[in-house]
Structure 1
Amino acid sequence: MKRPLAYITAPWGDNEFENTENAARYCRAVYDSGFSPVCPLLFLPLFLKDKIPQEHKDGIDMARDYLRRSHVLVVCGDTVDETVKNDIATAERLRITATTLDGILTVKGQGRGDGD
């Protein structure tokens, strides 16, 4: 079964370790719900240097491209910051469904009619 792409966004903090743990947990929950999670926070910092202005801009552009290719935007975490607001606005403009992690888990609990 081909899984639809789900872009993961959240209000990431300053603690890289905590961000990575949270992102991995969010991705696992989305994966368990039948989606292919896409979370740029988990892989872009592996090769981009955010302190270099051009690479910072490239990271933003790549993340937006992943969002454009996604079937759904999943908003995780308890708060909404500017990055999350921008992701929601981009999804809205592109007519991409935006939901919360709880929304994805609720759908999973109701079943998708595909034998889960």
Structure 2
Amino acid sequence: MSISKFNSEGCCSPVGSVKHRPNRQVRPFDPTAYGALSVIDKEELALRAFRPIVYICSPFAGDIETNVKAARAYSRFAVETGYIPIAPHLLFPQFLNDADPQERQLGLFFGNALMSKCSEVWVFGKRISPGMEAEIERAKWKNYRLRYFTENLEEV
């Protein structure tokens, strides 16, 4: 947002602050409004710059296609509400085999490492899978803030 230093109405200029210059349009300077609007603009910019990171906890195993689609929607919801989502179950299955127990455990370990970087853990859905249960237990053990949401993105 660009803030003008000048008053559009021409009514708030300090007396004697505008010098008469022939053949030149005079735009009164309004330092009070400019100062206030500049502070507001800087505060809004700072708020836009900071986005907390949230851990997305939702089912993966079972109906993988449906669960991935839902996790994408949950991540999108986080972005639209001003957060940065971390959804390990969207990332790690790209190169780890969830059917291999060792690789699954490695993925859960990686997820726990990422969870430690998040300000909150968001749990989606009414069904808690075994993987989600492990993530929730870890979050409780570490005293991370947990927030629960329905599949329709409503907080409960």
Residue identity matched to 2:144: I
Extract structure 1 runs of 4+ deviating beyond 4 A.
none
What TM-score results when the alignment is normalised by the length of structure 2? 0.60
Structure-to-structure mapping, 1:2-21, within 5 angstroms: 2-21=50-69
Q: Is the 8 A contact 1:26 1:101 kept in 2?
A: no
Q: Does 1:46 align with 2:94?
A: yes
1:42-76 CA distances to partner (integer Å, 9 max, x unpaired)? 11011112233432221111011111111100000
Which of 1 and 2 has greater Rg?
2
Aligned alpha-carbon RMSD (Å) = 1.9
Structure 2 distance, partners of 1:7, 1:26, is 10
In structure 1, distance between residues paired with 2:102 and 2:54: 27
SS in 2 for 1:85: helix
TM-score for both structures, normalised by structure 1 = 0.79
Question: Which protein, 1 or 2, shows the higher relative CO under an 8 Å CA cutoff with sep ≥ 6?
Answer: 1
Once the two structures are TM-superposed, the CA of residue 82 in structure 1 deviates from its matched residue by: 2.7
Rate the CA distance shift 1:54–1:39 in 2: closer, same or farther, 3 A.
same
How many percent of aligned residue pairs carry the same amino acid?
24
Q: Which residue of 2 aligns with 1:69?
A: 117
After TM superposition, give the deviation of residue 105 of structure 1 in Å.
5.9
Amino acid corresponding to residue 112 of structure 2 in structure 1: R
Show the counterpart of 2:147. 99
Q: Distance in 1 between matches of 2:88 and 2:148?
A: 17
Indicate conservation of the 8 Å contact 1:9/1:75, yes or no: yes
- Partners of 2:99 and 2:59 lie apart in 1 by 19
| Superposed displacement of residue 26, structure 1 | 0.4
Bigger mean CA deviation after superposition, 68-77 or 5-14: 5-14
Runs of 5+ unmatched residues, structure 1: 107-116
